Amino acid sequence: MKASKFSEAQIAFVLKQTEDGAAVAEVCRKAGISEATFYNWRKKYAGLVPSEMKPHGVITPGAKLAQGVAFTG
């Protein structure tokens, strides 16, 4: 899967703008994303603030199994 060129903080900022009353089309145009991308982000990150989003560099037990590393915790 391709990595996003937007950080979680940037995604949260875009979502917050529409919650504050800005038009979705205008926010998407300014951010350089499609409306479909916006709605996918809203579905995935609905109601989350950047501190609640998954931090980078954290390896989950499922990821360790995919990498072939045993998880003992």
pLDDT tens per residue, range 7-60: 888 999 999 999 889 999 999 999 999 999 999 999 998 876 656 665 555 555
Q: Of residues 26 and 65, which shows the higher confidence score?
A: 26
State both tokens at 29. 């145009």
When the pLDDT of each residue in the chain is averaged and rounded to a whole number, the result is 79
Domain residue extents for the chain = 8-67
Q: How far apart are CA 68 and CA 38, in angstroms?
A: 35
Q: What gap in Å lies between CA 69 and CA 15, rounded to an integer?
A: 36
Scan for tokens 């990595």, then name that residue: 3
pLDDT of 22? 92
**In whole angstroms, what is the distance from residue 36 CA to residue 40 CA?**
6
pTM, 2 dp: 0.62
